[in-house]
Structure 1
Amino acid sequence: MRARRARRAFLARHTETVYGVLTDGLTRPVRLADLVYEAADRFPGLVPTRAQMAAERRFVQAEKEGREIDQGIFCGAVLRSPTAARHLVETMLRPTPRARTLLDGFRTEGRIELDTVYLERRGVAGHIEFRNAARLNAEDDRLIADLETAVDLVLLDDVIKVGVLRGGTVDHPKYRGRRVFSAGVNLTDLRDGRISFVEFLLGRELGYVNKMLRGLLTAPSPGDGRERSVGKPWIGAVDTFAIGGGMQLLLVLDHVIAEENAYLSLPAAEEGIVPGLGNLRLTRLTGARLARQVVLGGRRIAATEPEAR
């Protein structure tokens, strides 16, 4: 606790200086995960090192030392700084290096298969299909990375005019052979300590979710005479259910189509976690009363209910 108080006190005074050192005076874009680990190298003791986090991941969540709390102290300080936060958010809106590497091949072939996501161009639509079949298309660190790559490719491809999200068929005995949109966060991985704070929880919101909402940043700096970002409309096709993170995704899309028997829910409070920015975005769409029922009361919204609109 004493060390954490010291970190908070240090960052209260020196966050912008630290961020400036890590980004060469705001001239170098450094993605969030790299920023955290570079801070560990350049400022020993400020945040955990890669080796410390790798050791931490060997434990189930309940038995961890809590090193991600120290990452949270650092990330919170950066995101409270107007200068550092703006630079970091814009950095996270840029295409990932992986997407840039795959772009030419996708433009030629019109399709790409990643570990947990399949992307195909059909006419002017880019269809992204979740393929974490053994886990009801639940989100984990691997799916987060694959999905950001796919979203980048949809936004970078000049032929594609609209993006489509849909869940693929799953292997779960109860739903085998059926399409499922998303079961939200992979609770097994969460229990086992394999859901990361920086790469998953923060990387998800600052990465592909924000890119679908605000567009992909493509120009290097303001005032250079070019359009700085590219945005496209997004459609969600919901089969069976969109739970947790799956429902959160729907809140940043432009249009949602759901099958008659589908339902939506945000059970994060029951699981002891915060539903990303879903609690803020849902309230804007529905008003406070219905949002409380969904977020705090665990209410499921059936696709056929009037509230589903």
Structure 2
Amino acid sequence: MAVSSERVGAAFVVTIDRPERRNAVDGPTAEALRDAFDAFEADDDARVLVLTGAGGIAFCAGADLKAIDTYAGRLDLAEGPMGFTRLTPSKPTIAAIDGFALAGGLELALWCDLRIATPTSSFGCPERRWGVPLIDGGTQRLPRIVGMGRALDLILSGRIIDAAEAERFGLLTEIADDAVARALEWAQALAAFPQETMLADRRAAIEGFGLPLDAGLALEAETARATFGVAVAGAARFASGEGRGGAGAGV
């Protein structure tokens, strides 16, 4: 099976399992990724999606260029060629990266909210060398994450950077020896927070990015009004002593 998924506590772990192709995505694998995305969205108890690749060599090396014919008809799909890259999940997502995250694989990592990688992982847009365009969100998400200057460095040059440089760029949230284990720790911590306000703040940040400031502030106010009852209950818990001194305040 090219894609597997399993629940680990509140985490929904999706694994691209084509190590013989460095977890490159062909048409059937893209369809399986979309199915996994739909299963995550439908599972109310799955609070965080963790995306990873099998084999310890690659997270994902991008589209399988040796099976490019299997992409026929996928370029214009609303969900994106590689399964779900033009969709925005309603819940947090984490990329657990071990090895190559290149081309479309980098775009899958950029699709996630957070990116945790092993020290030996590498990142880049080598498709530049073969005249293959970025078509799974990379031209839009990479500048939003690392800034336009650094994004254009990677997009134009096609150079590959290591995990240390990726962290300096702001591409990585964290470097960890075991990316999946660390991603699951993050998932557990995020799942433990009151969900309504966390998801509302996430929505405001994602949808508000690029809006004029007044429109972004209006969106923030809208989400705040919708979760005010949860905020009142949380404030009461704080007043009674819960969470003082930073308890429960991080991963």
User: What TM-score range do you get, normalising by the shorter chain?
Assistant: 0.5 to 0.7
Worse-superposed segment, 279-288 or 241-250 = 279-288
Listed as ranges, the matches of 1:1-309 within 5 Å are 115-169=1-55, 178-190=56-68, 193-196=69-72, 198-199=73-74, 202=77, 204-205=79-80, 208-211=84-87, 214-215=88-89, 231-276=90-135, 277-305=137-165, 306-307=168-169, 308-309=171-172
What secondary structure is seen at the aligned counterpart in 1 of 2:133? coil
Write the letter of the residue equivalent to 2:9: G
Equivalent residue for 1:74?
none
Deviates more, 1:152-161 or 1:264-273: 264-273
**Contact between 1:241 and 1:262, CA under 8 Å: does it hold in 2?**
yes
- CA–CA separation in structure 1 for the residues paired with 2:62 and 2:76: 12
Contact 1:144-1:204 at 8 Å conserved across structures: no
Residue 134 of structure 1 deviates from its aligned partner by 2.0
Contact 1:167–1:239 (8 Å) recurs in 2: yes
Q: Distance in 2 between matches of 1:150 and 1:302?
A: 29
1:278: Cα distance to partner?
Answer: 0.8
Count of equivalent residues: 167
2: CA distance, partners of 1:273 / 1:243 = 13
1:288 deviation in Å?
2.5
What stretches of structure 1 move > 4 A for 4+ residues in a row? none
Given that 2:57 and 2:100 are in contact with CA atoms closer than 8 Å, whether structure 1 keeps it comes out as no
Which stretches in structure 1 are left out of the alignment for 5+ residues? 1-114, 170-177, 216-230
Measure the CA separation in 2 of the matches of 1:291 and 1:244.
13
Q: With structure 1 as the length reference, what TM-score do the two structures score?
A: 0.51
What letter corresponds to residue 2 of structure 2 in structure 1?
Answer: T
- 1:124 and 1:188 map into 2 onto residues whose CA distance is 36
User: What TM-score do the two structures reach when normalised by structure 2?
Assistant: 0.62
Unaligned runs of 5+ residues in structure 2 are 173-251
Deviation at 1:210, TM superposition (A): 2.9
Counterpart residue type for residue 100 of structure 2 = F
Alignment root-mean-square deviation, CA: 1.8
Deviation of 1:272 after TM superposition, in Å, equals 1.0
Matched residue SS, 1:129: strand
1:204/1:266 CA distance change after superposition, 3 Å: farther
C-alpha distance in 1 between matches for 2:149 and 2:99 = 25
Letter in 2 for 1:182: C
